[in-house]
Amino acid sequence: MVSTLTTPFAEVATSNASLRAFLHGLPGVDRVGADARAAMLATRSIKTTAKGQAIDLAIGMVDLTTLEGADTPGKVRAMCAKAVRPDPADPSVPSAAAVCVYPDLVATAVQAVEGSGVKVASVATAFPSGRSSLEVKVAETALAVAAGASEIDMVIDRGAFLAGDYLKVFEEIAAVKAACGRAGGAQRENGAGGAQGEQAAHLKVILETGELATYDNVRRASWLAMIAGGDFIKTSTGKVSPAATLPVTLIMLEAVRDFARRTGRKIGVKPAGGIRTTKDAIKYLVLVNETAGPDWLDPDLFRLGASSLLNDLLMQRQKMATGRYAGPDYFTLD
Amino acid sequence: MSERLVVRKTYKLFVGGAFPRSESGRSYVVTSAKGDFLANAARASRKDARDAVAAARKAFPGWSGATAYNRGQILYRVAEMLEGRRAQFVAEVVQADGVAAKKAGELVDAAIDRLVWYAGWSDKIGAVLGSANPVAGPYFNLSSPEPTGVVAVLAPPMGPLLGLVSVIAPVIVTGNTCVVVASERAPLPSITLAEVLATSDLPGGVVNILTGHQAEIAPWLAGHMDVNAIDLTGATPELAVTCEESAAENLKRVLRPPAGPVDWLVDPGTERMAAFLETKTVWHPIGT
């Protein structure tokens, strides 16, 4: 599968030694500088009409997520209805970008969002720990794609990454990427993801930055995932604390920016976990605009993985429309 | 020997159990009844009010879920703490109200007694306002009072301590949480009271105290969709009308301001508690 690469990085992935040489040859991250820059950008004041636009943009970027052991088909259908029409009383509210569920609930979700343009993402590859064999991970991916998922959120093997076995991580990502394309095919014509206009399911690679220990590792993992064929890099599963943080997202945005400069290919970024308020969401949008550039202010290249965030965005939207503070009593419980 | 430097107190807000400055960074001058400068108090903005409502909402499940007995104990504890700082409050009431020390002492004592009085009501109000209702069918029919939720309270301009305690205690004893806009003219005792509340086992967020201009903050609280009731005791007639109009949007319970001056020393009765209670009625089939 290494031979399928057409990027300038084909020779990098020929052996663990060459991958290691490349990843460790990336410039180190200045931790204090990254923290300070993220904190500085977070102080930007976005008000009135700009805030209104940011809220609508953020709503359109939300991957509405439910990843609980207690998820039921009914809960998933309710969440899908919310993703399609976040505020039933106000048709001017845009739909969310996607819903994100476990593989066994993909079919339910696909049915629920059919024809709306909302995509269905599924976590796969032994989410959230990623501790299983490659066969199982590939099979799980194939099943999710066959059920109609147009996006696959895979987790990397953090154990292998931290042990320095970069080739193993690389090959897993490449194998899952291949499974995303293979199993899609015929299923995708009537699936919700048809709007994407291509056959293969999009692959989001979850780095689980909370377990990677250093910012240098975040940069390396980002590059590794991009070279291996990921379409998106995602911060976290949401099951580990810390989940998404601004500095980590900054480093990932720098990585996709630099990758696009070298290859011309734009990779998306998805912070997930711990983004609960409109203020947080707007901070991320500022970070995107100032780091990767305005091209990334698009649901195809930037997503927010969240569940409770959507209600806060809706409440802020209502506050701007009515001039009075909104209350959670008037929004769905989910 | 050089004279000792005066250590002046910074008067801040009381939100969620902490003492933040106003997010706006503003303050205003507070003078004594005689017009002398006393201190700069924080001047809360609408965003401070928003934060206070969020804190009150967060505290509501825990406080309303606590047993009535426990709430009574905590109110009694507030009275104990207030007793321990009696001298400080007497001095503040003298400055704020311009009354003699003896009279101020009586007012502080009355405030402490008022807390004890309301503390006793915590597990008795249900028996007074609840009932077993006779109905035309084979059911037990029971009504019991439940707290309304987050209550915004505009504290009276007069009676900087006794008036304040007399509007806060009846709201919280039944399990509500509140956002209080202190007397604009005499806000300092309210912040000293906040120091008492913060050290009385009262969970953070049950009482939040904002100082500033009532006319600026109150309309935001009255229109806030996550506030369930508003006590307009301290509002001017014009402000009361505006607030009542905004309050209609989410059907807040409204306690209108009193018609004339209030003598806070008079026995208050159960009216203020009853104003912020809902009635839950349960129909229970007889037999199995």
What six digits make up the tokens of A168? 């193993």
Contact across the interface for B225 and A327, Cβ inside 8 Å: yes
Domain boundaries along the sequence of chain A: 31-323
User: CATH top-level class for B27-285?
Assistant: alpha beta
Using a CB-CB distance cutoff of 8 angstroms, which residues of chain A are in contact with residue B220? 324-325
Check residue B287 and give its pLDDT: 64
- Within an 8 Å CB–CB cutoff, is residue B281 touching chain A? no
Q: Which of A317, A325, A331, A333 is the best residue to mutate to test the B interface, defined by the most B CB atoms within 10 Å of its own CB?
A: A325
The residues near A139 (Cβ < 8 Å, ≥ 6 apart) are none
| Cα four-point dihedral sign B145, B151, B154, B160 | positive
Among candidates B50, B53, B226 on the partner chain, residue whose Cβ is nearest the Cβ of A329: B226
Q: A153, A157, A280, A312: which is the annotated catalytic residue?
A: A153
Q: Which residue has the tokens 């969401």?
A: A281
Question: Residue A293 in contact with residue A264, Cβ under 8 Å?
Answer: no
Check residue A190 and give its pLDDT: 42
- As a whole number of angstroms, the distance between CA A61 and CA A86 comes to 12
> Catalytic annotation on A157?
no
Beta strands B27-31; B37-42: pairing state? antiparallel
Minimum CA–CA partner of B220 in chain A = A324
CA distance A41 to chain B (A): 19
Contact across the interface for A324 and B225, Cβ inside 8 Å: yes
φ, ψ (nearest 5 deg) of residue A233: -115, 135
Helix axes B68-84 and B86-97, enclosed angle (nearest 10): 80
Contact across the interface for B225 and A325, Cβ inside 8 Å: yes
Check residue A334 and give its pLDDT: 76
Contact across the interface for A327 and B250, Cβ inside 8 Å: yes
Task: Tell me the residues of chain B between 1 and 20 that have a Cβ less than 8 Å away from chain A.
Answer: none
Contact across the interface for A327 and B246, Cβ inside 8 Å: no
> Catalytic annotation on A82?
no
CA distance A324 to chain B (A): 6
Using a CB-CB distance cutoff of 8 angstroms, which residues of chain B are in contact with residue A276? none
φ, ψ (nearest 5 deg) of residue B30: -110, 130
Minimum CA–CA partner of A322 in chain B = B223
Check residue A7 and give its pLDDT: 57
> Catalytic annotation on A153?
yes
Q: A82, A234, A283, A312: which is the annotated catalytic residue?
A: A234
Burial annotation A22-54 (CB, 10 A radius, 16+ → b, else e): bbeeeeebeeeebeebbeebeeeebeeeebeeb
CA distance A320 to chain B (A): 13
What share of chain B in percent tops pLDDT 70?
99
Q: Which residue has the tokens 């003492």?
A: B19
**CA–CA distance from B209 to each of A193, B12, B73 (Å)?**
51, 9, 22
DSSP for B127-192 reads HHH-EEPP-SSSEEEEEEEEE-SEEEEE--SS-TTHHHHHHHHHHHHTT-EEEEE--SSS-HHHHH
What pLDDT band is residue B2 in, cutting at 50, 70 and 90? confident
Helix axes B188-198 and B162-173, enclosed angle (nearest 10): 40
User: ipTM of this predicted complex?
Assistant: 0.88
pLDDT over threshold 60, residue B244 = yes
Domain boundaries along the sequence of chain B: 27-285
Check residue B267 and give its pLDDT: 94
- As a whole number of angstroms, the distance between CA B95 and CA B80 comes to 23
Q: Which residue has the tokens 């308020």?
A: A277
List A206's β-bridge partners, or say none. Answer: A155, A234
What six digits make up the tokens of B225? 């969709």
- Of the candidates B77, B117, B85, B83, the one whose C-alpha atom is nearest the C-alpha of residue B203 is B77
User: CATH top-level class for A31-323?
Assistant: alpha beta
Beta strands A119-124; A98-101: pairing state? parallel
Average pLDDT along chain B: 96
Beta sheet of B131-132, edge-to-edge order: B131-132, B139-147, B277-285
Q: Looking at A190-204, A296-310, B43-57, B181-195, which range is the least confident one?
A: A190-204
Mean pLDDT of B275-285: 96
**C-beta neighbour count of A105 within 10 angstroms:** 25
- As a whole number of angstroms, the distance between CA B166 and CA B64 comes to 20
- Of the candidates B179, B170, B196, the one whose C-alpha atom is nearest the C-alpha of residue B115 is B170
- As a whole number of angstroms, the distance between CA B106 and CA B158 comes to 15
pLDDT in tens, chain A (334 residues): 444 555 578 888 889 999 999 999 999 999 999 999 999 999 999 999 999 999 999 999 999 999 999 999 999 999 999 999 999 999 999 999 999 999 999 999 999 999 999 999 999 999 999 999 999 999 999 999 999 999 999 999 999 999 999 999 999 999 999 999 875 444 444 444 443 444 689 999 999 999 999 999 999 999 999 999 999 999 999 999 999 999 999 999 999 999 999 999 999 999 999 999 999 999 999 999 999 999 999 999 999 999 999 999 999 999 999 999 999 999 988 7
Contact across the interface for A325 and B220, Cβ inside 8 Å: yes
pLDDT over threshold 60, residue B283 = yes
- Within an 8 Å CB–CB cutoff, is residue B245 touching chain A? no
Question: Residue B254 in contact with residue B247, Cβ under 8 Å?
Answer: yes
Check residue A187 and give its pLDDT: 43
